């Protein structure tokens, strides 16, 4: 999709026109067809939030679709509300088979159109055009929006470009997660990461099974050994400040499919398990975005990618593993596999890449979905200053997060009677005990844990999202890294 900007609204250039308006404010209609006022009156459009008026007006030999969108009262408007209202409008017109659509900001005061506001709304509009329809022959044939034009002052061009850019990286993550598991194997994740790194000029190294074995990454390997697909360890390096020894590690969970292993999932829970690599998708998307932004900081993205399957080789409940760190792990649940891959990936980050800060991101627990639903990611950190950092970053990224507790009580849940630690603390407080397990491998480094099990994949559509992958975490990680680079 081509994205352009224009200072003036020329109605002859577009098949669809979106005009957001405030409640109690008469929209300016000088450049619009005479019938517009009549249609607005017929639709009883008053600009109330979540209200709209959609109608068609003939122009020469075509029909132009007009969609007036209510923003509600001006003093009550937030960036998130604007994203939902305007993004939803773009999603509506994206289904109308229109080649060219304009989004007019002419009814919104310049004082409201900050860089953050424009960037965020443009991001939402770009994400609203996403459709994973490659396997739907009739849907593929439908006309998609080819050109999306924003009508606003040309002083906002950079904000528009930034919004489009981050949306592209979020879309990359969505495509990775939405791809069926029979087509997105560990080797395919490597292929995508390779293309991203080559385009971004990022250094990349891929470790095959034999090399992983030499590093004694037995927790990771145990998860992978039930599958015929060999695991891969992907390492992506962005060196933005070669003079510094500080290195931020972004560690993404990369289970391209999770059957649960011998602690097998029910069928309904398996259907969406292609999404269990949402953390790795977020890291790949974020590394692309970080390279574009070029902050003065060193970042290493690490992904331990594999499948968790059942076979005669698969690991079993009751097994005891020795992780790369040397800690022994009692396996009490083979469906608590993601934390095992993260444990070795974090150890690798510290021991081999000399990471000084750790951020892991993962679709780790059903418990976080029960606690927070699909709108929030659960965040765990021991340090208040790190929480403040990620909270500020989440606001800039317009991603919702919630701090979950971690203390000795949750660490005790993971205590084993036969090994150093066990891989599940049970059902109660599952998000925090899982986070505490991961934290046991961070060697005291500053650490943030992000559980996106709810926010990474939607069961039903939302204002500017279709059902399926969301790309949760891409923008958040990017903003966090930029924050630390200041």
Distance in angstroms (rounded) separating the CA atoms of residues 9 and 44: 24
As a whole number, the mean pLDDT across the chain is: 97
Q: Are strands 421-422 and 328-330 parallel, antiparallel or unpaired?
A: parallel
Domain boundaries for CATH 3.40.630.10 within the chain: 171-485
Domain boundaries for CATH 3.40.220.10 within the chain: 2-152
Q: What is the pLDDT of residues 347-356, one digit of tens each?
A: 999 999 999 9
The catalytically annotated residue of 274, 339, 413, 422 is 339
Q: What is the pLDDT of residues 192-241, one digit of tens each?
A: 999 999 999 999 999 999 999 999 999 999 999 999 999 999 999 999 99
| 392-415 mean pLDDT | 98
Task: Please confirm, yes or no, whether 339 is among the known catalytic residues.
Answer: yes
Class of domain 171-485: alpha beta
Predicted pLDDT of residue 141: 74
Residue numbers belonging to the annotated binding site for Mn(2+): 253, 258, 276, 335, 337
Q: What is the pLDDT of residues 155-206, one digit of tens each?
A: 999 999 999 999 999 999 999 999 999 999 999 999 999 999 999 999 999 9
**Contact of 83 with 167, CB cutoff 8 Å:** no
The 10 Å CB-count burial string (b at 16+, else e) for 59-97 is: eeeeebbbbbbbbbeeeebebeebbbbbbbbbbbbbebe
Residue numbers belonging to the annotated binding site: 253, 258, 276, 335, 337
* Number of residues that make up the chain: 486
Task: Please confirm, yes or no, whether 265 is among the known catalytic residues.
Answer: yes
Confidence of residue 11 (pLDDT cuts 50, 70, 90): very high
Distance in angstroms (rounded) separating the CA atoms of residues 133 and 135: 5
**Contact of 435 with 406, CB cutoff 8 Å:** yes
Confidence of residue 12 (pLDDT cuts 50, 70, 90): very high
2-152, CATH topology level? 3.40.220
The catalytically annotated residue of 265, 327, 395, 445 is 265
Q: Residue 252, SS3?
A: strand
Distance in angstroms (rounded) separating the CA atoms of residues 209 and 354: 22
């Amino acid at each position: 999709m081509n994205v352009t900007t224009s200072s003036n609204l020329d109605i002859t250039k577009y098949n669809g026109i979106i005009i957001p308006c405030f409640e109690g404010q008469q929209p300016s209609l000088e450049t619009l067809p005479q019938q517009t006022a009549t249609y607005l009156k017929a639709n009883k459009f008053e600009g109330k939030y979540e209200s709209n008026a959609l109608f068609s007006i003939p122009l020469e030999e075509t029909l132009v679709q007009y969609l007036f969108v209510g923003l509600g009262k001006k003093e009550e408007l937030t960036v998130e509300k604007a994203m939902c209202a305007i993004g939803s409008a773009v999603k509506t017109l994206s289904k109308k088979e229109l080649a060219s659509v304009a989004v007019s900001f002419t009814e919104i005061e310049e004082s409201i159109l900050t860089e953050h506001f424009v960037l965020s709304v443009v991001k939402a509009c770009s994400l609203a055009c996403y459709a994973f329809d490659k396997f739907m022959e009739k849907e593929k044939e439908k006309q998609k929006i080819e050109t999306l034009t924003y009508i606003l002052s040309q002083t906002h061009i950079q904000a528009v470009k930034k919004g489009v850019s981050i949306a592209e990286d979020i879309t990359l993550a969505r495509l990775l997660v939405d791809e069926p598991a029979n087509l997105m194997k560990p080797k395919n994740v490597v292929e995508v990461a390779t293309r991203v790194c080559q385009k971004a000029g990022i250094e990349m190294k891929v470790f095959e099974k034999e090399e992983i074995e030499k590093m004694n990454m037995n927790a990771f390997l145990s998860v992978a050994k039930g599958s015929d697909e060999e695991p891969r360890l992907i390492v992506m390096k962005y060196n933005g400040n070669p003079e510094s020894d500080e290195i931020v590690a972004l560690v993404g969970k990369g289970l391209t499919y999770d059957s649960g292993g011998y602690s097998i999932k029910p069928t309904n829970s398996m259907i969406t398990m292609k999404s269990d690599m949402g953390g790795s998708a977020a890291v790949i998307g974020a590394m692309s975005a970080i390279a574009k932004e070029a902050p003065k900081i060193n970042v290493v993205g690490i992904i331990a990618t594999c499948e968790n399957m059942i076979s005669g080789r698969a690991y079993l409940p009751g097994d005891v593993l020795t992780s790369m760190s040397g800690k022994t792990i009692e396996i009490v649940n083979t469906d608590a596999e993601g934390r095992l891959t993260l444990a070795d990936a974090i150890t690798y980050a510290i021991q081999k890449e000399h990471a000084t800060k750790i951020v892991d991101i993962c679709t780790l627990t059903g418990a976080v979905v029960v606690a927070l639903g699909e709108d929030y990611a659960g965040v765990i950190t021991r340090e208040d200053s790190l929480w403040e950092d990620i909270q500020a970053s989440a606001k800039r990224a317009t991603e919702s997060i919630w701090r979950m507790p971690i203390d000795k009580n949750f660490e005790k849940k993971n205590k084993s009677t036969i090994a150093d630690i066990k891989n599940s603390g049970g059902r109660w407080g599952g998000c925090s005990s899982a986070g505490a397990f991961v934290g046991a491998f961070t060697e005291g480094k500053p650490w943030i844990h992000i559980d996106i099990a709810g926010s990474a994949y939607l069961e039903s559509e939302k204002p500017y999202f279709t059902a399926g992958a969301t790309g949760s975490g891409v923008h958040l990680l990017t903003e966090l890294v930029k924050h630390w680079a200041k």
